[in-house]
């Protein structure tokens, strides 16, 4: 039914937030493609505009309101009527309440209602009502939907949805629900199928992949899943995110022993102060974290460790912050996503009073970024003079003649495209690059092999 009604309509999707949303957007796009819609790159040409939203920090909320409002000034679309649909985490959090901030939205679909997106949009074309679905028990699974992948060589593969951890600052458990693991067989079959059609790299996704399988009695856990995915023939396996409290020795062993698992671990620390970690409800201490890093490095000495860090959690003192700086130096992060604490209504941390001046927090943020720049620079130096296999993902933004891709450790690597060659000969393929330059955020060198 939805198929005929939406046939020939054009759609545009803008995605905010994390890889979960990126993957959900691929499902929405797949569903609309299956209904006969055509994707366009300009919202002005779209009959359907979809926003996949994020509310992890306040800035993401504000951006949505601006984007929705700007749809009002777009020229009329080809079909004469434009349907604006808001999905993702703000839709789940606010439901109908979203209309207080944006009045030109026709469809609101929560994170649990994504399988219903095409019928909601179809209904919105047929009447002038608002179509809203955010029920936690909305039937249908996103992983059963058609899938429009952004690239042919990489796939985001969700292995579980939701989060049970309730870190005190974080809104995610409230908008994504409880942890729900996909079955082992479904994931392994999916990756096997992806490998067969030429996908070179998969990233297994979950808010905490280390608790994979815990919600299914007797089911295989993450270490077993890594080993099974390692047998599918896919060449590169990555995963994110990993909660330190649940990283088990058997997972570290699987990472060390499965050749396709890339030597990169994103292990969000959030703070280097045990006192703040306790306030954050992270359930590990600074010492626990450092001991884990030690265990990982014992098995995989050159692993790239990356992290997330929050600066300015309520009540963070200079001493707490100095502990974060010293931990970052001690670990020697290859990269870190650094965030200024953003108060999220409804989370326990939102009730903690805080009088740290904004300029103190901004100063700490700058000092942290500078330490991470030092550790990232130092981390990259060991690649100098080495030959590194790189999965080519495109060309450098600044120079279309410079290939750009990722090393096993997830470093960005550049090399000049040979004279007369085209990006198409390299895109999604692996080439060896002899590294002669190592900067803070990238390596560069020269091609040392044909693409394979």
> Which one of 57, 82, 200, 243 is in contact with ligand SF4 (CB under 6 A)?
243
Q: How far apart are CA 353 and CA 333, in angstroms?
A: 31
Q: Does 17 bind ligand F3S (CB under 6 A)?
A: yes
Torsion angles phi and psi, residue 393, rounded to 5 = -115, -5
Q: Does 241 bind ligand SAM (CB under 6 A)?
A: yes
Q: Does 65 bind ligand SF4 (CB under 6 A)?
A: no
- In the chain the first and final C-alpha atoms are separated, in Å, by 44
Q: Does 68 bind ligand F3S (CB under 6 A)?
A: no
Q: What is the DSSP letter of 98?
A: G
List the interface residues with ligand F3S, window 153-192 (CB under 6 A): 171-172, 175-176
Report how many residues bind ligand SF4 under the rule CB under 6 A: 10
> Which one of 339, 378, 416, 423 is in contact with ligand SAM (CB under 6 A)?
339
Task: Count the alpha carbons within 13 Å of 278 in the hemisphere toward its beta carbon.
Answer: 7
Residue with tokens 């979950």: 206
Binding to ligand SAM by CB under 6 A, coded x per residue (else -) over 151-170, reads ------------------xx
Q: Does 269 bind ligand F3S (CB under 6 A)?
A: no
Facing residues of 404 across strands?
Answer: 394, 414
> Which one of 13, 107, 172, 234 is in contact with ligand SAM (CB under 6 A)?
172
Facing residues of 392 across strands?
Answer: 405
**Residue in 136, 108, 135 with CA at minimum distance from that of residue 121:** 108
Q: Does 441 bind ligand SF4 (CB under 6 A)?
A: no
> Which one of 113, 124, 268, 392 is in contact with ligand SAM (CB under 6 A)?
268
> Reduced to 3 states, what is the DSSP secondary structure of residue 257?
helix
Residue with tokens 């600044």: 398
Residue with tokens 């300029």: 359
C-beta atoms surrounding 67 within 10 Å: 18
Q: How far apart are CA 82 and CA 355, in angstroms?
A: 46
Q: Which does 55 bind (CB under 5 to 8 A by kind): ligand SF4, ligand SAM, ligand F3S, none?
A: ligand F3S
Does the N-terminal peptide bond of residue 106 adopt cis geometry, omega within 30 degrees of 0?
Answer: no
Torsion angles phi and psi, residue 24, rounded to 5 = -60, -40
Report how many residues bind ligand F3S under the rule CB under 6 A: 13
List the interface residues with ligand SAM, window 56-75 (CB under 6 A): 56-57
How far, in Å, are 401, 418, 432 from residue 422 at the CA level?
Answer: 9, 8, 17
Binding to ligand SF4 by CB under 6 A, coded x per residue (else -) over 154-183, reads ---------x-xxx--x-xx----------
- Tell me if 380 sits within 8 A of 443, measured CB to CB: yes
Q: Which does 330 bind (CB under 5 to 8 A by kind): ligand SF4, ligand F3S, ligand SAM, none?
A: none
C-beta atoms surrounding 449 within 10 Å: 13
C-beta atoms surrounding 374 within 10 Å: 15
Q: Does 261 bind ligand F3S (CB under 6 A)?
A: no
Q: Which does 341 bind (CB under 5 to 8 A by kind): ligand SF4, ligand SAM, ligand F3S, none?
A: ligand SAM
Residue nearest to ligand F3S (CB): 17
> Which of 50, 55 has the CB closer to ligand F3S?
55
Interacting residues with ligand SAM (CB under 6 A)? 18, 56-57, 169-170, 172, 207-208, 241, 243, 268, 270, 308, 310, 339, 341-342, 344
Which residues sit at the interface with ligand F3S, rule CB under 6 A?
17-18, 20-21, 54-56, 88-89, 171-172, 175-176
Q: Which residues bind ligand SF4 (CB under 6 A)?
A: 163, 165-167, 170, 172-173, 207-208, 243
């Amino acid at each position: 039914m939805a198929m005929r009604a939406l046939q020939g309509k054009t759609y545009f999707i803008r995605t905010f937030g994390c890889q979960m949303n990126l993957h959900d957007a691929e499902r929405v796009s797949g569903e609309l493609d299956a209904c006969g819609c055509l994707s366009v790159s300009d919202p002005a040409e779209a009959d359907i505009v979809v926003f996949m939203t994020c509310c992890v920090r306040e800035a993401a909320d504000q951006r949505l309101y601006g984007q929705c409002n700007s749809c009002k000034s777009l020229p009329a679309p080809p079909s004469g009527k434009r349907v604006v649909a808001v999905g993702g985490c703000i839709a789940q959090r606010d439901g109908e309440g979203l209309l207080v901030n944006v009045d030109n939205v026709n469809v609101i679909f929560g994170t649990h209602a994504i399988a219903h997106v095409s019928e909601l949009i179809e209904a919105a074309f047929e009447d002038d009502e608002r179509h809203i679905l955010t029920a936690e028990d909305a039937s249908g699974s996103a992983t059963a939907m058609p899938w429009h992948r952004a690239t042919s060589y990489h796939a985001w593969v969700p292995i579980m949805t939701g989060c049970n951890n309730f870190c005190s600052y974080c809104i995610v458990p409230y908008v994504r629900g409880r942890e729900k693991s996909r079955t082992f067989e479904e994931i392994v079959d999916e990756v096997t199928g992806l490998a067969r059609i030429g996908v070179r790299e998969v990233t297994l996704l979950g808010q905490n992949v280390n608790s994979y399988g815990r919600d299914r009695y007797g089911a295989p856990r993450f270490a077993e899943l890594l080993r099974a995915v390692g047998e599918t023939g896919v060449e590169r396996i990555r995963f994110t995110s990993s909660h330190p409290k649940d990283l088990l020795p058997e997972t570290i062993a699987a990472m060390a022993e499965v050749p396709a698992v890339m030597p990169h671990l994103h292990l969000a620390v959030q703070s280097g102060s045990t006192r703040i970690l306790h306030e954050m409800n992270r359930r590990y201490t600074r010492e626990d974290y450092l001991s884990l890093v030690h265990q990982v490095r014992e098995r995989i000495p050159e692993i790239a460790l990356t992290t997330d860090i929050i600066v300015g959690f309520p009540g963070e003192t200079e001493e707490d912050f100095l502990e974060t700086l010293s931990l970052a130096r001690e670990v020697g992060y290859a990269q870190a996503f650094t965030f200024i604490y953003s108060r999220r209504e409804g989370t326990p941390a939102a009730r903690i009073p805080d009088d740290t001046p904004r300029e103190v927090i901004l100063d700490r943020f700058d000092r942290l970024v500078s330490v991470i720049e030092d550790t990232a620079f130092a981390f990259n130096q060991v690649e100098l003079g080495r030959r590194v296999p790189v999965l080519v993902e495109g060309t450098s933004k600044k120079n279309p003649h410079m290939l750009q891709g990722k090393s096993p450790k997830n470093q960005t690597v550049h090399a000049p495209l040979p004279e007369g060659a085209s990006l198409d000969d390299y895109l999604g393929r692996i080439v060896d690059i002899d590294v002669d330059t190592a900067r803070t955020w990238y390596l560069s060198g020269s091609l040392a092999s044909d693409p394979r």
